[in-house]
Structure 1
């Protein structure tokens, strides 16, 4: 699968620093992710790296194939599509309640999007 250069997700996360995104082309990262999926009981102990590379989950970022996105239930992506925008910073409600209580990664994403918004 072809990864895009310097992708920024709808929510501001940097896809090219995300292991789920990178595991598409890096078997070492895929093996790490498989261990994590098993630890979370998202895959059975018998699940192999070959099965993971064939079945996924895959993520090509928000701007990639929607069938190959980490979470079909991604709130930010669904909201952006409903509002016909390609980034949260273009929303009149940015920064919305969805970001409240977000992890540090999302806080970094918010700051990244604020900088993009300032340049727009």
Structure 2
């Protein structure tokens, strides 16, 4: 994968938009849509299964969550329709002002305006790691791990 392709996958803060549950072109959206298609009209079957497997009483909730995943519409932080639940992120706009792709590339990294607490620790780890091994290598390393 080329650097420019990785930039399309990773947000300026370093999180992987492609594997986010809200991303409009993400794998979670694609897989959720496919599962909805495969299940078709499973609701009557779920109702029959409840006697032996009471967990199926919650099928309608599962279906609602799956539908929500399949409706992901976030463009990612580099796009115009940002739906990221992390509202305290300065990198969404700051990277444009500083003309960098990722926070670690900025002369002011690590700045004080980006995150606090555990989220800041994660942000620092991600950016320090990209700086250490390179953006492409970091992408391949993190893509093997769970997103959440």
What interval of TM-score do these two structures reach, taking the shorter chain for normalisation? Answer: 0.5 to 0.7
Normalised by the length of structure 2, the TM-score is 0.47
How many residues are matched? Answer: 94
Q: Could you list the runs of 5+ residues in structure 2 that have no partner in the other structure?
A: 36-61, 135-148
Runs of 4+ in 1 over 6 A off after TM superposition: none
Task: Give the number of the structure whose alpha-carbon radius of gyration is greater.
Answer: 2
- Superposed, 1:3-82 pairs within 5 Å as 7-21=9-23, 22=26, 24-25=29-30, 26-27=32-33, 31-32=64-65, 53=71, 58-63=73-78, 66-70=79-83, 74-82=89-97
CA RMSD of aligned residues (A): 3.5
Task: Indicate which of 64, 87, 99 corresponds to 2:102.
Answer: 87
More helix by share: 2
Normalised by the length of structure 1, the TM-score is 0.56
Q: Could you list the runs of 5+ residues in structure 1 that have no partner in the other structure?
A: 35-48
Distance 2:112 2:63 in 1: 33
